Amino acid sequence: MASLGSLKSAVFHREERKMQYQSHIRGLNAYDRHKKFMNDYVQFYGNTKNVHNDMPIKTDQDTIREGYRFIISEDDDMDSTWEKRLVKRYYDKLFKEYCIADMSQYKMGKIGLRWRTEKEVISGKGQFICGNRACNEKESLGSYEVNFSYTEAGESKQALVKLVACKRCSEKLVYKRKKEKEHSPVREKEKYKRKRERSRDGDSTDDEYDKSTNRSRKGQKTSSSANDGRTDEDNFEEFLEGMFP
What's the pLDDT at 48? Answer: 52
What pTM was estimated for this model as a whole? 0.53
Nearest 10 degrees: Cα torsion 231, 233, 239, 242: -130
What's the pLDDT at 222? Answer: 47
Low-confidence ranges of the chain (pLDDT < 50): 1, 51, 221-227, 236, 239-240, 242-245
What's the pLDDT at 114? Answer: 94
What's the pLDDT at 240? Answer: 47
Of 138, 112, 123, 130, residue with least CA distance to 169: 130
What's the pLDDT at 17? Answer: 79
What's the pLDDT at 190? Answer: 72
The neighbour count for residue 232, using CB atoms within 10 Å, is: 8
Q: Could you give the residue ranges of the DSSP H alpha helices within 81-174? A: 82-92, 118-123, 167-173
What's the pLDDT at 234? Answer: 58
